[in-house]
Amino acid sequence: MTDNYYVPNATNKINEMSKMKFVKLSDKELKEIATFYQGVMATAYEGLFYREGRVIGDGILEMIPRDSDILEKAAKLIKARGWVDEVSFEEDKAIVKGSIEVNEESAAHTCHRLCGIIASVYEKAEGSIVDVKETRCESLGDDHCEFDVDKRGF
Amino acid sequence: MVITIAEDMENILESLREDGVLGSAIISKNGNILSSDLQSNVREETFAIMMATILGATQTVNSDLSMGSSSFIVIYSQKGKIIVANIGEKEFVAVITERNYNTTGLFGKLENITQSFRDS
């Protein structure tokens, strides 16, 4: 596991991570899961996936040691966990290449979990509540996915 | 009336306030609170996504049965009612009322709100 994942330089974190189990889902399986949920609950699935993303984002943040550069470490972990090929965090937006949630057959943005992950990361880094919205998506033919980050404050 | 800004949404919720109405919210169909007038004991985020899920599932059933889109969903519970009104392409209203609240007038208000959203 340590070959594939960033491991914080703290013994308790290493011990904690060594007990964690991970599963792997393919992009095809994720698409089929999204299609299934969309078929059951229409656009409400977007909100559920967003909240899933928040949970995943919070889990990723727990792996980052204190006094680290949160955005830099989070980018490495999000990539290592297979959510993206590349991600860069800027002042008020995140740029992503190769999101695993991309679905070329979709007529709308598809990266709802990633949206939640990014929201968690920015809230931790900025110490304020943020709204994150996907404004460009490879699913719609854009050459990257882009997430606008609106800081609302507490 | 044309629905344009958050203030308009607050006005809509204010228009729903009356005896027997315990709270209301305008929610996006993907489960985000757009404006709320809910009691402090309601967990807004959870309430919003649950209501969106109920409406979304109803839309799917209606589609499968070729019944068109749903206008209202009413949940009768032991201690109250929840009325979900499908007011816009991307929004809906959820209203929580007391068990014995007469919803006749509320349906009329919600139909007017739906018309306002269509006009905006």
**Domain boundaries in chain A?**
11-151
Neighbours of B109 (CB within 10 A): 16
Query: Residue B1 domain-assigned?
Result: no
- At residue B4, does pLDDT exceed 70? no
> Sheet of B21-28: strands edge to edge?
B33-37, B21-28, B91-98, B80-85, B72-76
Write down the pLDDT at residue A8: 53
Compute the half-sphere exposure of residue B30: CA atoms within 13 Å on the CB side of its CA: 13
Distance in angstroms (rounded) separating the CA atoms of residues A101 and A27: 7
Window from A18-22, A32-36, A123-127, B116-120 with minimum mean pLDDT: B116-120
- C-alpha closest to that of B31 among A141, A100, A54: A54
Contact assignment for B52 to A47 by CB distance below 8 Å: yes
Write down the pLDDT at residue A107: 93
Query: Residue B92 domain-assigned?
Result: yes
Write down the pLDDT at residue A1: 44
The tally of domains found in chain B comes to 1
Window from A55-64, B4-13, B42-51 with minimum mean pLDDT: B4-13
Window from A9-13, A74-78, B98-102 with minimum mean pLDDT: A9-13
Q: Give, in words, the CATH class of A11-151.
A: alpha beta
Q: Which residues of A touch B60 (CB under 8 A)?
A: 39-42
* Structure-block tokens of residue A97: 């290449």
Residue of A nearest to B54 (CA): A41
ipTM score above 0.85: no
Q: Output the domain CATH number for residue B57.
A: 3.30.450.30
Residues of A contacting chain B (CB within 8 angstroms): 39-48, 50-51
* Structure-block tokens of residue B101: 């609240």
- Work out the pLDDT band at B120, boundaries 50, 70, 90: confident
Contact assignment for A42 to B60 by CB distance below 8 Å: yes
Can you give the residue range of the structural domain that contains B47?
6-119
